[in-house]
Amino acid sequence: MKLILDNNILFSLMKPDSVNSYLFSILKVEFCAPEYIKSEFEKYKSDCLFKSQLSEHEFKIRQKEVEDKTKFFRLSEYKSFLKKAIDSLSDPDDSPYIALALFINSVIWSNDTHLKQQSLIKVFTTAELVEKLLKNEI
């Protein structure tokens, strides 16, 4: 199973003792994300540092761990699916996640409720992934 990480899930992984980090460490899936999300780390680095309570050095190590377990896709790879993705969403900023999911035939891990309102791609919240894990469905 391929699982696309949205930016909020990716940011939450910077806190090693979070539920999301635990799931990230035990799920036997292929984690994927749009490549541009790497630049979001720099943009929101101070917020991530504060929330994770990691030192800058620890943060860099954790960021590398997360990035090493995630396959990143360039916009040019899924660009042809963007219009369909934009048309399906109330917030076009999230269209890269839908477009990438359409491109690689995957699901999305996100706690954003508006992403679940579209009907093109299945979106799992953290709670839903925990439930699936407990039922041995993933």
Domains of the chain: 2-134 (3.40.50.1010)
Please report the pLDDT score of residue 88 as a whole number: 92
Please report the pLDDT score of residue 37 as a whole number: 92
Residues 95 and 114: beta-carbon distance below 8 Å:
no
Average pLDDT over residues 39-61: 88
Average pLDDT over residues 27-45: 91
pLDDT score of 138 more than 90: no
pLDDT band at 48 (very low <50, low <70, confident <90, very high): confident
What is the pairing mode between strands 123-124 and 30-34? unpaired
Name 71's Cβ contacts closer than 8 Å, sequence gap at least 6: 30, 31, 32, 33
Query: Rounded to whole angstroms, how far apart are CA atoms 105 and 111?
Result: 20
pTM: predicted TM-score of the whole model, two decimal places = 0.93
In percent, the amount of the chain with pLDDT more than 70 equals: 100
Task: Give tens-digit pLDDT for 78-135.
Answer: 999 999 999 998 888 899 999 999 999 999 999 999 899 999 999 999 999 999 999 9
Please report the pLDDT score of residue 44 as a whole number: 86
Mean pLDDT over all residues of the chain?
93
